[in-house]
Each structure stands twice: as C-alpha cells, then as structure tokens.
Structure 1
C-alpha cells in the first residue's frame, strides 16, 4: 500500500497498486473490518492523442474528503505515451468514479501525494518535466472543477517530492530530493504559495514533515528527526539509533508529542513507534513483531481521541493495520521490550533554492472502471487483546434479573456495540466476549429477539476501558416470555453432489418461540432420491416419507439430523429433485399441527461448484423477482476442502446488503460448530470455524463438505426493483479466498411500476401495443378479443380479423402484468401493413412519443427530425420496430420525421410538439 488517510468515521482508506497494472483502494471501518476493496483500470487521453486501451495505472496516495468521497493521485501510461502521465481522480464514498484527469507533458510526470485542505480543495505534490529538467511541484486543485488554483515548483535539476503537508498555520510544506537523490530540501510557503524559506542538505532526506501552528516544521527521515523554526533556522536535530532501519512516517499530538513510526531489520523485520517530547527527548517506545514475523510499518494515521493506526505490510505482500491508543500500546502481545535513545546530530544547510510558479495546464479527461474484490482482514498481535467485556444472553426462568445455575443461554443472539456500529453474536451457549484494541468508552446493547419477549435486566451496558480497567464481566441480558407462542422454523440442506452415490443432507428445526414444544419432523423424499440412513435412525419410514420426533426443544435451540441419501444418476440429468420437510408441533394434548414447511428443490446437473451460495426464495426469472412483502431471505453457504491437506480453520466473509436488517440474522443450521460470528459496521458478516479439521476431498469426500445456513429480514418499504445481491469469500487456513457465485433478488411491487399499456389502432385492423418503457424493458404479449384469449397472438402488434373489443396484456421481466384499456375495432376489410409505414403515438406529443415501424429497422437505418427551416434537429439510430423520441430541448412546432436507409428516403411522417 502506497497511501492512506483516516476517514470521517475513524476508518481508513488505503491506496496501492496490484499486478503492476491496476490501481487499488481498500476501505476499512474503525475496527479494521474490510468494507470494500476495488481495483481500477483507466482509459483516457494523453499528450500524443487519444487511445482506447487500458492504462497501466498506479495509485500513489489517497485523501478522504469528509464523508463525500476520496481524491486519488498517481500515474499511468498507455500505448503511444512518452512516459508516465500524472493522474488525479475524484471518487464517491463507494469508490465510484466521478471525474479524473491527466496533465502529462514530456516524460514521467507523477502526482505522488495528496492532502485535503477543505471540502473542495486538495494539496497535491508531484513532479513534472523531462529527464534532465524534472521539477518537484506543490499545487492546489479544486476537486469540483479539476482546475489547478496556484502552486509552487522547485527550479532545480531533477528534483522530486518525498512529502507534503498543509501546515496548521495555513501555509504549505514540500520536501524532496535533488540532483538524482544525492541531496534533499524542504520548502515552506504561506497560504498564497509565497516562499517563506528554503533549506537543503547533502546528508539527509526528509521523508515525512509536519507543519505546526506556530509556523515551525518537524522533519524526519532515515534515522534523523529535527525541528525547524518559523524563520527557517534549525532549532534541534537528533539521530535515532534503530540499527538497520528507518523512520517512515510521523505525526504530532495536540499536546506537542511527536510520534515516529518506522521499522528495523535485524534477523527479523519488526516495526516500532517512538514518542518524543517537544524538545526531542524519548518519552516512550513500542515494538510490533516477533521472531519469524516480518512487519514493516510505512504510514501512521492519527484518529479522533488520539487513537492511532499504523499501516504497512506483514510478510511479503499482506496488508498490515495495527490499531492502538495514543501510546501505541497493544497490551499483552508477546513482543520483547524496546528501548531507543536519541543523540544530538548536526546538519549543515547547503544553500538557498530558487522557487517558481508551475504552469496551470488543463487536464485531459481520464475515466476509471472499478471491480469489487475481496481482501482478507489481517489479524495482528496473537494472544489476548488488552480490553474485553463478556456476558451471557439467557432465559431468566425465575424473573430475578440475574443468571442462575440451570438457566439456558440464547445461541447466536446479536449484541450491538457503539461507537463502531458493529454487531457481534453469542456462541452456541449464549456467551459473548467483546474484544477491542482501542481504549475507549463503549455501549453494548442486546438486539432483542422480538416482541414475544421482555427484558428482566438492563437493556444496555456502558464500559469505559482504561489502563486500570481492562476487563468487564457478567454483562448479562435476561429475557422472559411476554406471551406464549409456538414458532418453529424448519430447514433442509444438502451437500453439493454429483450424479449417483451417497450425499449428506442436514435437516433442522429452530425454536424461535416462547414455548418449549415437542413435535415430529417428516421428510417426503422425491422418488429420484432414496434414504440410506441417519444417526440416530428415524422413528419410522412410511412410503417415501421419513419421520423423527423431538422432545421439549429449548428456547432458540436447534435440533439437527444428518442423513445419507442416494442421489440419481446420469439418466436423470436435467430433472428436478423436489423434497418437502414439514415440522409438526404437539399442542400438549397429543394433537399435531403443521407449523412450518421447507422445500428442497435442485436441478440434477451431475456437476457442481464445491463452494457456492444459495438464496431462498430464489425468485422468478433472471432477476430473481420476489414480492415486496417477502419477510426473510434465507442464505446457504456451502463449502468443500478440495485441497491436499486437512483445513484447520475456515472463515467465511459475507458482505450483506444494506437493504437487509443485519441485527435480525438467525442461524438456521451448520455442519460444524461456529466459533465466532460478527458483522462489521459496513455489513461484512464473518463466520469462523476454528479447529474444524475439515479433511480434503481426496481423503474423505463426504466429510470434506460443510455449510452454514442463516436468514435475515429485509428492511420494509424497499422501492420497486431494488436489487439485493450477495456472494462470499471462503478462506481455508491461509489460502486465498474461494469466491462464490452471486445470488440476486429483485424486490417487485407491481403497484409501483405505473405502467400504462395502450393500443394504437392504425386502421384497417392493424393494432399495436405500446408503452413509453418499451426501449428499456422486455415484455411478453397476449391479445384478447371480447375477453377471450387469441391463440398465438403474442407479439407487439396484431392484425384483427373480427369485429370486437380488443385488449392486450403485457408481462414484464419481473412478472408484473398489465392489461390495456379496450379498443373497439370494426372490420370492413383486412389489410396487411405495407412496407415503410410509420405511426407515431401520441401525436401531437409533449415529453415523449413512440415511433412504430411496420418493418424491423437495422443499424443501416437512421431517423431524422427536420424542422420547418429544413434543418436536421435530431438524428437517431433505431433498432427493431419501435423507437422512443424524448423531447429534450426540442421547441414546439411541426417537424418532419424521415426514415432513411443509407441515403435513400423510405418513409416520412409529420409530428407536432406542443
């Protein structure tokens, strides 16, 4: 990662380059959870002309602009360019492209650093010019217009920037190297880019700088740190004895404490944080990393409350983020003690530098396309984290508000935590354990199980972690039934299977009611599937149905059975398996009533993806259309170890849509015990299976499979055609993730579609159905006469053959059907529509009209609107038999619509605009 910035919510935005060709952005929340990751390619215009191929692009730095998005700087090149071209881009808060530009000149132009000034302005550091005339630059850009609004440029041979800063006194600071890197400089200017002082050295490179409110500057690099007074004179300079290592970044706390981050490289590479007072004396140190671990911190970000984030790499190329409080303490990590000292160090300036104003050249347009990717969260500091809070969510049988022996816990109950706005869940016994690496005050609240329950304890707890108060226990949430209700949820899950042979199937019943009923589960198997057995065996088998019974199922307890089924063979390829599970509850008097039904429906393909995602309801059509009043979406994640060794840990990361109520998540089944479940503030749900010991498929194929099934409510009132997509990344130990297919559901509320199909009677019995959405939606058609369906009449037009009242029904791709108003047709003769016939409806038109052609038009045709002066007011390219004309600035009056084929006129029609 080459750049980063703290976001308004105390998260991070990180920038970098992957595969030496794609820009990368990584967005983390305050707890370090990955919200999204995107890679970018770019197309645009350089200084030698237009090109259509993707750039080789690198992102060098990024700045967060409040909550409105980001500005990214870097460089790129493409075929035909004479070298790297600088790039500046504006992205929204989701990483989507808003605008971008490049201002390349001769050779290897780069924007390397960006720092926000205010909501519409950023400070950008870079280099411009040719090989022998390269100059370091510092410029302001308006991020709304993309225009440069002032700056400065070093008038020195082959200079390039190493650091920039918008000083707290309103001025600007630029540091970099000269003469091919053999010397270095620092320039301080005021807010108008008028130079206040310059300084350069032959034996020091300032790689990080901070401008203070009193006008002084702290500069650090290599192993040296110094303070420069407002007049450009040296106050003090010190050398940090860190062995073979370097200072990589720096910041200053409000109280003046200087924070230096860097790394050292003895037998193992480790990172450190050193705190200095305002006079440069060491007041504290921290080390990160241990034997066999290579941590290299390159950047430091200061968050609200003086919390810190240290960013770098772990190992070869894994992203490393370390979260600490202001002292850098991580708590009980097993890192050895670290003591660093400072000695005085003398630096002699080499001269005074000349500074000029850079040319404000216009930007060429550059566009980016972003692809969403998965990045695993990095776990730092093995062992216990310093601050924790624990408790139990339980059924308070005696209503005394305290957890007593024998009172059962609620498995997988959601606990919300603030700040952070994340959710973590109890384990299978109702216990929760909240850990954090940030010393702060937190509020923990249980997300209630529903209106059937009432609390007997406090609804929330506030814990304030300090150095002396690091652990809170017995933060219990007790519930008792408010009303008696029986609610059982059944589920059936099969492992992915190929044709023939045995396959594992799990059936389950979750008790989410306030009673503890006994009951019966029946599974009616498809005739293509045969039952091989279960452990324990079923109570009975009658025909194709298998029965089990359960006794007194506890509150939020899950009853599960594992079955072995024999699957059909190749002769049934393409057939659909349909099996039904029914849950029966005993009313206490021996009478059974069906309370829930689950359906297993799967097409036999004789092939499968070992890792996949399923959703129920699947929905209809290619868009997965579901009714707007659907309450739950049930997701099943299936995985299989197809490697060459046993998997010890499996982690599933599932980015849930914001259109779902994350706190409503209910676990309905799993193949192995879930050791951890949490949902970050951005909706990333993480399921952990620690010590799963999942064998590889070559050793034990049936046991190499696993799954987790859960359901989550949709937010009410979602608008028509809201799309909810979902896929997951599955991690087997330390391997790259397996990315599943993406499932799609589309919310359909036909009442919101507001489609008004109409019939245009073109005379002589030729009828045409049209709607103003025909260009953007695919419909199926059915014509009726006097209410009776006309067989085979299923196209947009219809030639009436009998006198009567005609209607047409349109069905869109989401299953919504619409019936037109009737049109009375009186047949005196039957004409076939002639070639070149054109109809416009409505005519006259106001905002839009549909043009209907009697024959299919191709790309060789064009439509022209000609005004009364003979001028072509608009030229359109048709496709098919309809075309929608949008007014979009056309003035009122009469126009001639011409249909052209090449240069031949084949049809005309008059149209009037009101």
Structure 2
C-alpha cells in the first residue's frame, strides 16, 4: 500500500477510505459506524499507483479521485457519479512527465477552481494543469525545472493575493512568483541548502507575511527565512551554527505572548529546546526544556496534559524507551521531566481524551513490539500503566487519534509500514452501549431459556454489522461493546450436530441514547441427532533432557450426549511417569487409566501429568504416546473409541514459547492433502520473567484460508476468561488473574497452553499456503513472538507424469524433483534422472515426484532400438526410406490378417495402425504424416513384435 486518503466518496456523510496499492486503487465504504465494506476497485493498474487524493474536480458536489502512477508517469482523474461509482480515467498529466512524486490542488490561475500541481522527480519539474468546471484539465504547464526536485509548497509569498510556489530540491529552496493568472516568473533561488527538512511556515516577525523555518540533515543549525513582504527573503535571518541537526521543529507560542517561538529536539545535545521570539523575528538564546538520551526523536507534540490551560511538550524517543512530558509553567518556563509511559520503540504518539473525562490521555505504538497502547491521565498529568489494545500490528510507525465513526470519541488510526496496512481501532472506553445474552442448551426444546438449562460453551456469536465475534464464555454468556445503531445478533455454532431452536433465532436490536443496553438476547440450541463425539488431545510442555515436565490430556465433548467412560494413555517407555492430577485409577507400567462420569455438552476436562524426560543419550529419537477415550453406554459397554497419537523428537533444548500445528505435514512447507478439513493449533507459553504473570493474552492472526466461525476449543492448561475474534480474523485469548509463576520459582508450573481446531474454508486452490504465528503477552511486557508454522494444501490429482521420446533411444520426463525409470514394468537400477537413454526395445515409463511430494506414473512409451534387425537383416524392410508420399513394407514373414502394423511418432504415440494384408508386402500411405522420424512396429498373431525406423520427408 503506497498511500491512503479519507473522504466521503458515496455522499452518505461519513468518511470512506481511498487506497492506492501497487496493483490497483480502491475504496472502502464506511457504513457510518466505522465498519468498512470490501474493497471496491476503481481500476486495476500495473503502473504502480503512488499518490492518491480526492477533491471535487468537476464541481458537481462529490469527491473525484486523482491518482499518479510511477511506471507510466501519469496523473489521472476518475470522476465520481455521486455514489462512489467511478468512470474511466481522465488523463491529467503524462506528456513528457516522469516519476510524479507529489500532487496537490491549489487555485493557480485565479478562476476560483483548484488546479492540479504536480512535482516530477524524473524530469525535475514543478508543473500545473488548469482545471475546468467539468473536471477536465488542460495541457501541462511547467513552472520551474531544477535538478533534484523533491516537493513543492503553495503560499502567497508576495502578498498579492494569488498562489505562489516554493520548490524544494536537493541543493536548495526556490520560489516562483505567480502573476495571478498562472504565469510564473523565473525561479528565484532563496538559498543553497543541502538536504532540506523540517520546514514550518508562519508569520515569524509579526509583519503579516509568510516566513519560513527550516533545517538541513547534513548542515548544522536551524534557520529562518524572513519575508520582506514582497516575496523576497532574508536568508538566513536567524542562523545558529553552534547547534547540530534539529528534528520535530515547530512554530508555537511557547510563552503565550502572541508570537511564534521555535521548538525542536536536539539529539546531539540530548535535550529539547526552544527559542523565544521577541515578536519581530528576533530570537533569544537557546533555552532548555528538558534533557533526553536520544539519537532518534520520533515525535514532539504541543498539548495541555495537566489541564492548566498551558500547552506542554510531549516527546517520544527510541533510545530510552519512554514517552515523557515537560509541564509548561508559563512565560516560557518548564518544570522537570514528567514520566508519561515506558514503551520500547515508541514511534507513533498522539494525545486525546480517550475515556471522555475531560483530560488528555496518551496513545502510542511500539514499533519493535508491534503493539498499540493507551495510558489514562488522572487529570494532573499522572498516567496509569499502559494498556494493550492490540499486539498484532506489523511495524506500527505512525498513530493519530481522530473520530473515525462519528460517535464523538477519538479512535486510533495506526499506520503499519511493515504490514503495508492502515488499521483503526474503535474506542469503546466507558461505552454505555452493550449487547448481552446467553447461548444455552434448550433441553426441553420449548424455545425459551429455563433456569435449569446449561450454557453452550465456546461457540461464536455474530453481530451484523460486524464489531467482533466473541466466543461464549464458561457459562454460555456473551457481550458486545458497540456504538448506537441497529444490530442483528445470531449464533454460529460451527457444529452441525446442533441447531438454533429459540424464537427468535436472530435478534434485531436498536440501541439509542435513551436505550443503550440490550440484555436477554438468549439463543437456544437443540441436538440434530443423538450421537457421541469426544475430541481427545495430548500436549507436552517443552523441556530439557532428564528433567521433569508437565504433559496434559484434554478431552472435549462435542457430541449431543452427556458421557461417561474411560481415558487410557500409553506413554512412551522412555518417559518416566511421576504423578498426575487427578490421580489415575490404574497404572500398569506405561499404561494409565482414568474413569470419568457426567462429561456434559462442550465440557473440556484436563488431566495434568508430570513425567521425566529421557537423558541426552536419546537425542534424535522419537517419543510416542497414544491417548484413547472410550465412551461407554449405560451397561458400561464400550461403544466408541476416540484416539489421538502424539510424537516428538527428543531434544535437550527448547523454545519456551512456541506454536505447533497438527498435522505438521511433509517437508519445510508442511505439505498436506487438499482435502484436509481442519488444522489444530497449539500455543505453548512459559513465564521466563522474574516475577509471576497475573494476566496472559494471546493474539493470533488467523490465516484468511481459515474459517474462524467454526473454531473449536480442544484443550487448555488454564481456563480462558474470554475468547474473541476481532477485526482481521485476529483471535484473542485472555487468561486473566491466573498468576502464572516465573520459571525460576516453579519451572513446571510456569508453563501453559491452549489447543484449538480451525476448519479450512471450502474450495481453496492447489498450493494454498496457510501460515500462523502468535504473540504472547505476559502482563504489560513486550510480546513474545512465536515461530511461524506453515502448511501447504496440495491437490496431487492435478500432478501428472509424461514421457517424451526424442528419437535415437532418448527419453525425457516431465518436470519433477525425483525420477525412477521402468522397462516393461521393472525398475531400472540407477535410472533416477529426468532423462534416460534406452538401449533395449520395450515399454518405458517413469514415476515422478513433484516438489509437493506428489507421485505420478506416466503411461508407457514403446521404444524400438535399431539393433532389432539382428533377428534378420531382411526381417522388415521399408523402401524408399526416407519416404515422401508412399512407402512399401516388405517382410520375410507373411503379414497375416491377424497381425498389426503400427506407426509411432517420436513421443511413442500410435498415429496409424492397420491389419496385415495376408502377403509379404504392404503399401504405406505417409502423405498425411508430418516430416520426421517414426517407428514402424509389426506385431504378429502371437504378440511377437519387430520394428524398423521410417523417415518421412
């Protein structure tokens, strides 16, 4: 994604999102509550759309779209018909233009309509295109040309009421004055300024015109250009060569005296500084606001954090992993540094009243950790512990707080440059708007929720429009935090054995300011069939050799009966059983048994074992275990057996926090059959910190190939307090208040896990890659990022093997990774290359393996070797040979009517066949054959064959 732009494209009063990607540009319709529909492609393009902006180009009251492209060096206009439907592109800029890097709109010719200004770095030109009332544009008009063109800026530099253009290039700053009709004078060089950056503008000297504040990356000092009022500048009017590079420069009124002062960060001096303006553009000496250890200053904000009416300085850096603020005491004095929040890699920072209490809170991103956080202000500038909003943002580099959904509170818009995406997070802080209910088992099928009916656990409940998808909790309860509006609520059990029985089956709810909460949205389910399904799973904690570890047996009732029976486990003899909770009812060597009763609907039971792992002498061996759950009827007869096989290669080192997938598949890409119905994922976690972890949160972006609405929970070490699927198929699992010990205090108890089943979507194509990775948060620490597990879905029925005969005994196989050649059905020793030189007449075939480990066998190809005539030089003779139209076959033996004569092409395919004539000769018609080499094969009545080559010219 190269650029986004918010605007109302469909004229419904809310902000939609316009996005330019490398291959297309699209827009996403906002439904009014901040929920966006699917991408609506305006146009596919292979020309690398880059800059994108919207404006009313044809003065018809709607937002049209301007797009610049890199490869074709064009700027195109797409006219909006008023409801988000776009016509074909109108070319705005393209003739003689290369590499447009910036475009914006300004009234250049003074006709009251905004024209299009474009900067081209390829031919180093600033150009403009006059816009007509219908949105069409005139020819390109060049304002100025200079090597190293980077950007432009529009302002009335000479105070004559029109728009002049500043041009910024690699070696300086230029100004082109407008005569009022779009004709520009020659570019005036304002100064030779290398690597210009951090430009701010405003009336610095109080004379009513536009002055400039600027700095350069590789030249010391912050500089000011004062406007004489006629578009000429004193450069530099202020130059501080004793200071080095400045970042985050601003023009703000620090001392509240009505003029603009300079504020910036100076990483070389480890401090934030300001310069007081005397009102005439004269600046006093540098004044230190506060010190900081920072080689990179990521953000400087000017906001009132303590509510005293004075704006304070808020700053974030990478180096000391903090966001701090300095209270403004008035008259340009600042108090000592105040701690905001501690956050590694803080990049995007903004302040807004997140909780609606009248003060400004802090929101920030952690670029290194991938998290988005907020910290609440108590009203006096003291901030609470940062609260994680999401940990799955890939490289969040920028954050702003703004009201995306028009509900009056600030939401967070996060730009993640490593993930090539922009996300926004709805603010539900203190929301009075809630939807609550219970999914229950309607035991008497009366459609009503009775007091004795149990909750249905870990099923998904869905709202339309989408907000999130919570899974019902341990009591079957669910809750949505939403905005005012209309909602449909229904359950998606994901289990075909159950169906909705309650009336209504879907709730239609309107939330308003006077009626903000809807409760009693209870949904009942009844069994479709009477059957037993128990899903067993076996999980082992990771550990070193010869040390004790925990292993967990889980068995979940996914059927429609309340069950009893027996759990049996056959451990690998290399594991030493120490204990289990609950204790087994029977232990015979490595065989353990537990009886169970009253396993109710969706119930997940766990057995925790403690075993000792093998010694290092067994590194590389494989441990195995077989778990069986035996379901019994009322007479204790075993009616069903459900099994789960476990294996693990013995290692003496381990990753304490990791991700596992079953089936693992073959090879590094985890190859599994295209018909695989689901993937089971296990997230294992261990607290390796120095103190107990009170809360643990798992965040897992499920692959788009997974259907999250049919997810099942198979087992866990600790019962989750909440499971929800958020926007973008992000699975979030909360373990609140579990007080997980640290590994130094209790190694075995410091570990845990959750296992869940994720069905795959129907109709996935061959070679679909399904990836998964999790983030594990221990309290407020940076997330632990697990390994990535990969599966590739392969349809081996699409893989075929073919043999081509090139003549002269040369055979070649179709593409594969390994080969085995066969002669007359018998493997040829050593024939394992993609080609083979045949030396014996016979039927040749090849078995080929693909890079996805699919195996296919080719059809056989008959090859006749020239030495076959050694049976008799006159056994078969063809004259003439080469032949053009006809040839005569002569045979020592009679060509009996029960014999066959065949012609085979170089690929071994039969192109023509005929019966014998009953004589020693036969005329062959070859006039319709393509030129080339053929094999004539004679097969007598006893199946004995002879062959001869024939060349057709």
Structure-2-length-normalised TM-score: 0.56
- Residue in 2 aligned with 1:326? 406
Residue of 457, 460, 469 corresponding to 1:423:
469
CA distance in 1, matches of 2:730, 2:834: 45
The aligned runs of 1:731-810 (5 Å cut-off) are 731-753=777-799, 755-760=800-805, 762-763=807-808, 766-771=809-814, 774=815, 777-778=816-817, 780-800=818-838, 804-810=842-848
CA distance in 2, matches of 1:455, 1:245: 68
- Residue in 1 aligned with 2:731? 685
Change (3 A) 1:810 1:396: same
- Residue in 1 aligned with 2:509? 463
The aligned runs of 1:48-67 (5 Å cut-off) are none
**Following TM superposition, by how much is the alpha carbon of 1:702 offset from its aligned partner in structure 2, in angstroms?**
2.1
1:706 counterpart = 2:697? no
- Residue in 2 aligned with 1:822? 860
Q: Is the 8 A contact 2:713 2:756 kept in 1?
A: yes
CA distance in 1, matches of 2:845, 2:547: 54
CA distance in 1, matches of 2:670, 2:695: 33
1:726 counterpart = 2:772? yes
The aligned runs of 1:491-502 (5 Å cut-off) are 491-502=537-548
CA distance in 2, matches of 1:821, 1:734: 63
- Residue in 2 aligned with 1:111? 102
CA distance in 2, matches of 1:245, 1:694: 56
**Following TM superposition, by how much is the alpha carbon of 1:267 offset from its aligned partner in structure 2, in angstroms?**
3.6
1:638 counterpart = 2:684? yes
CA distance in 1, matches of 2:656, 2:74: 42
**Following TM superposition, by how much is the alpha carbon of 1:503 offset from its aligned partner in structure 2, in angstroms?**
1.1
After superposition, the C-alpha distances for 1:244-282 in whole angstroms (9 at most, x for unaligned) are: 999xxxxxxxxxxxxxxx9862244799xxxxxxxxxxx
- Residue in 1 aligned with 2:497? 452
Change (3 A) 1:792 1:148: farther
Aligned residues: 639
Q: Is the 8 A contact 2:101 2:151 kept in 1?
A: no
Change (3 A) 1:401 1:162: farther
**Following TM superposition, by how much is the alpha carbon of 1:752 offset from its aligned partner in structure 2, in angstroms?**
2.4
After superposition, the C-alpha distances for 1:472-499 in whole angstroms (9 at most, x for unaligned) are: 0010110111220001100011122222
CA distance in 2, matches of 1:451, 1:394: 16
Q: Is the 8 A contact 2:674 2:794 kept in 1?
A: yes
After superposition, the C-alpha distances for 1:828-877 in whole angstroms (9 at most, x for unaligned) are: 769xxxxxxxxxx99799xxxxxxxxxxxxxxxxxxxxxxxxxxxxxxxx
Residue of 342, 346, 361 corresponding to 1:293:
361
Change (3 A) 1:481 1:186: farther
Q: Is the 8 A contact 2:34 2:404 kept in 1?
A: no
- Residue in 2 aligned with 1:346? none
The aligned runs of 1:358-397 (5 Å cut-off) are 373=419, 383-397=429-443
**Following TM superposition, by how much is the alpha carbon of 1:62 offset from its aligned partner in structure 2, in angstroms?**
7.6
> Computing the radius of gyration over CA atoms, which structure comes out larger, 1 or 2?
2
CA distance in 2, matches of 1:705, 1:613: 14
**Following TM superposition, by how much is the alpha carbon of 1:451 offset from its aligned partner in structure 2, in angstroms?**
3.2
CA distance in 1, matches of 2:806, 2:126: 72
Q: Is the 8 A contact 1:760 1:768 kept in 2?
A: yes
1:556 counterpart = 2:624? no
**Following TM superposition, by how much is the alpha carbon of 1:578 offset from its aligned partner in structure 2, in angstroms?**
1.3
CA distance in 1, matches of 2:174, 2:676: 68
Give RMSD over aligned pairs.
5.9
Q: Is the 8 A contact 1:270 1:295 kept in 2?
A: no
CA distance in 1, matches of 2:105, 2:666: 48
**Following TM superposition, by how much is the alpha carbon of 1:680 offset from its aligned partner in structure 2, in angstroms?**
3.4
Change (3 A) 1:187 1:586: farther
Q: Is the 8 A contact 2:129 2:138 kept in 1?
A: no
Residue of 455, 459, 465 corresponding to 1:413:
459
The aligned runs of 1:465-864 (5 Å cut-off) are 465-753=511-799, 755-760=800-805, 762-763=807-808, 766-771=809-814, 774=815, 777-778=816-817, 780-800=818-838, 804-825=842-863
Change (3 A) 1:539 1:805: same
Comparing 396-405 with 522-531, greater Cα deviation is found at 396-405
Q: Is the 8 A contact 2:803 2:907 kept in 1?
A: no
**Following TM superposition, by how much is the alpha carbon of 1:460 offset from its aligned partner in structure 2, in angstroms?**
1.2
**Following TM superposition, by how much is the alpha carbon of 1:698 offset from its aligned partner in structure 2, in angstroms?**
3.0
Q: Is the 8 A contact 1:127 1:161 kept in 2?
A: yes
Give the secondary structure class of the aligned counterpart of 1:571: helix
- Residue in 2 aligned with 1:5? 5
Q: Is the 8 A contact 2:445 2:501 kept in 1?
A: yes
CA distance in 2, matches of 1:653, 1:633: 17
Give the secondary structure class of the aligned counterpart of 2:797: helix
Q: Is the 8 A contact 1:26 1:34 kept in 2?
A: no
**Following TM superposition, by how much is the alpha carbon of 1:446 offset from its aligned partner in structure 2, in angstroms?**
0.6
**Following TM superposition, by how much is the alpha carbon of 1:15 offset from its aligned partner in structure 2, in angstroms?**
11
Q: Is the 8 A contact 1:137 1:161 kept in 2?
A: no
Comparing 703-712 with 415-424, greater Cα deviation is found at 415-424
CA distance in 2, matches of 1:787, 1:114: 75
**Following TM superposition, by how much is the alpha carbon of 1:577 offset from its aligned partner in structure 2, in angstroms?**
1.2
Task: Kindly indicate whether structure 1 or structure 2 has the higher relative contact order, using CA contacts under 8 Å at least 6 residues apart.
Answer: 1
CA distance in 2, matches of 1:185, 1:641: 65
CA distance in 1, matches of 2:851, 2:734: 39
Structure-1-length-normalised TM-score: 0.58
What are structure 1's unaligned runs of at least 5 residues? 17-24, 37-44, 46-58, 65-69, 76-85, 91-101, 116-121, 141-146, 165-172, 194-199, 208-238, 247-261, 272-285, 298-312, 334-369, 831-840, 846-892, 896-911
Give the secondary structure class of the aligned counterpart of 1:613: strand
Change (3 A) 1:288 1:485: closer
**Following TM superposition, by how much is the alpha carbon of 1:690 offset from its aligned partner in structure 2, in angstroms?**
2.7
What are structure 2's unaligned runs of at least 5 residues? 39-46, 56-64, 78-92, 107-113, 156-161, 185-201, 213-251, 261-299, 314-351, 366-392, 869-903, 909-929, 933-950
Change (3 A) 1:124 1:615: farther
CA distance in 2, matches of 1:482, 1:245: 76
Q: Is the 8 A contact 1:60 1:113 kept in 2?
A: no
**Following TM superposition, by how much is the alpha carbon of 1:178 offset from its aligned partner in structure 2, in angstroms?**
10
CA distance in 2, matches of 1:479, 1:672: 27
